[in-house]
Chains A and B, each alone.
Chain A
Amino acid sequence: MSATPFLVLSAILFTIGCVGVLTRRNAIVVFMCVELMLNASNLALVTFSRVNGNLDGQVAAFFVMVVAAAEVVVGLAIIMTIFRTRRSASVDDASLLKY
């Protein structure tokens, strides 16, 4: 079994997520794109684990999932708070913390 298709899929997913983060304004969408990038890297980790024949990559993938879950908790809470105060979820609107 070749690892190439998995890695190509991982790269495509990562690029979609990356472009989404840079171009979209809605915080929820940006957030989902970040998740997409995390899962793309998870896919790459699991693929390499398989290729190398050990479990290191899979363990790392679990760590990423745990961190992502925690991030979702905190991130969604922040987005909710921002939406409640500003009536908008646009990341460009929340630009007061600057020089």
Chain B
Amino acid sequence: MFVPLAETAPTVDPSTSGGVFSLLWVIIALPALGATVILLLGNTRTSRWAHLLGCATVLGSFAISVVAFVALLGRAEEDRQIGQKVYDWVDAGSFHVDFGLLYDPLSALFLLLITGVGSLIHIYSVGYMAHDVRRARFFAYLNLFVASMLTLVLADNYLVVFLGWEGVGLASYLLIGFWQYKPSAAVAAKKAFVVNRVGDIGMALGTMLTFATFGTLTFAGVSAAADRASDTTLTVLGLLFLLAACGKSAQVPLQSWLLDAMEGPTPVSALIHAATMVTAGVYLVVRSNFIFDYTEVAQTAVVIVGAVTLLWGAIIGCAKDDIKKVLAGSTMSQIGYMMLAAGLGPAGYAFAIFHLLTHGFFKADMFLGAGSVMHAMDDDVDMRHYGGLTKMLPVTFLTFAIGYLAIIGIPPFAGFWSKDKIIEVAFEQNLVVGLAALLGAGVTAFYMTRLMLMTFLGKKRWEDGVHPHESPKVMTVPLMVLAALSAVGGLLLLNDWITDWLAPVVGAEPHVAPEIPAIVLTLIIIAVVLVGVAIAWLTVGRSDVPRTAPARVSVFTRAARADLYGDAINEGLFMRPGDRFVNGLVTFDDHAVDGFVDGTGSAFGGMSGTFRRVQTGFVRSYALSVLGGALVVVLALLAVNLA
């Protein structure tokens, strides 16, 4: 096994505090209030001001988060864990759970990401959804989504995490299926919900096992007692939480819902992929570092899931013509990087979170950019109908280009710093994992370049009657902000700030000198990325892009177009056998169970049909029966008395 185990994981030991920290619950309460007000008053009564309320609540949360973050910065390192008990939630015998909040460096970063990027997506949605009659309802769901995610990352115990976890699942269902009159959207929403339920089984069982093992659900209690639990228990816990993370974060084998989730409005995709939902799995693994640090098996499983997913998503992204699906495949792939880093233990946790933040910036930027392109192209998502958009959509193009440079990892954009660090750590731990991560970087460069070339460059391949126009300010300003963040997000790594900042939560590992010098590795990564870009240029950029997808393509392209047969695998492994099993049960019920019951009934029916013939209607035959009966009784009495 290649993952070095930490001697001890850091413990969670929050202290209560006043000042801005007493307002922690307001961060959750504001968007929750927004959702409640809009949903209770209804769409028509609130349609004039719901979008304003929706943006205001999230911006309010963002403001409090920033103030709290600044206050936390001012504190000593060992004093940066703040607990707040909101109220007694469950109090039944020995089972006691508080609705408690934990504010520490990890939650602080998540709060900034969720409320910050969330606010920008809210503002963007004002313009994007302007012509939708149900915009108020849309904002209520967005607020609900943000409130659930904030609950998830502020919770101080697993049950409150579970509450947020399920809230996120519900909100994603409502938003993916927002245009539920489209059958494809309704099906996609159901699919996301069902696949997430599979992961939720892991979350629920993990929570129960935690309580059974430690007698408490708080992070503080579990982290203090984790080193005393048995290895098997910790491994099972780790694997259960990994299953949960796979469901929420769309990791193999529970990845299939993410691509279909593109049926939702584009701001929803941005929210799911950048600020909320898919980051929850990574958060859970990093937050449960005190469990994963003691179990090599679970850590290895996390690394394998991450490595497989980062290639899986990247390969899918190479073959899709739907701009949103390329980005969705890319999200899977990038979350795979984060999982991989999180599985590498204390050496990787901080970089997982770092990549999560930078990814939040550039992925939100590109999704909103894609929404802007779709807006211009009459909601057409096929990149083969784009081309030549640089002049028409200058702001969208420039902001998208910055996101593009960030995701493929061109210095000095944000993605370069975070991905470089993850690949570096991966190489330190294991050559195969490192090579997978490196290959993933090359493939990422290929499909993102392909996306850029097909969308913005080349010749015009527009549908008839499409007149592209730049989006309104309310949509482009969030794009600019996100592009700026994508450009400078790497500053978080300055002086190892992010590793030091997260050290109290996830522990820090003394840096070992890698076998390959870091600068050489960085140059190799950049070379691989440039090769990916070059291949994309040679295959897509040089020649004209056909307006319909070529049918005669290689086996690999066909597999990638079919999402690497993820749905077929699910169908073959689970759906069909499950169908057969259920059909078997139905047959058993119809024949065996019903047969027994019906057989009993008809047996008695047949017997009575036979025996009623005894009633002939002849008095004298009755008299004979009576005589016979009397004789039997007399003989029996005699036999008993004489014996």
Contact = CB atoms under 8 A, between A and B. Distances in A.
Interface of A: 18, 21-23, 25, 30, 91-92, 94-99
A87 to B, nearest CB: 18
B431 interface: no
Interface in B585-629: 612-620, 623-624, 627
20 contacts: A18-B627, A21-B620, A22-B620, A22-B623, A22-B624, A22-B627, A30-B619, A91-B619, A91-B620, A92-B619, A92-B620, A94-B619, A95-B618, A95-B619, A96-B617, A97-B617, A98-B616, A98-B617, A99-B616, A99-B617
A21 B623 contact: yes
A54 B615 CA distance: 43
Nearest to B609: A99
A98 B619 contact: no
Given A22-B624, A22-B627, A97-B617, 4 more contacts: A92-B618, A92-B620, A94-B619, A95-B618
B244 to A, nearest CB: 69
Contacts of B616: 95, 98-99
B617 A95 contact: yes
Contacts of A30: 619-620
A58 to B, nearest CB: 24
Interface of B: 612-620, 623-624, 627
B627 to A, nearest CB: 7
B544 to A, nearest CB: 93
A99 to B, nearest CB: 4
A91 to B, nearest CB: 5
A55 B618 CA distance: 40
A97 B618 CA distance: 9
Contact of A99 (B615, B620, B627): B615
A95 B624 CA distance: 15
Contacts of B619: 30, 91-92, 94-95
B426 to A, nearest CB: 89
B615 A98 contact: yes
A30 B627 CA distance: 15
Contacts of B624: 22
Smallest CB-CB A-B distances: 7 pairs: A98-B617, A95-B617, A99-B612, A91-B619, A99-B615, A95-B618, A98-B615
B580 to A, nearest CB: 49
A60 to B, nearest CB: 18
Contacts of B618: 91-92, 95
B170 to A, nearest CB: 65
A54 B627 CA distance: 30
Contacts of B627: 18, 22
A36 to B, nearest CB: 14
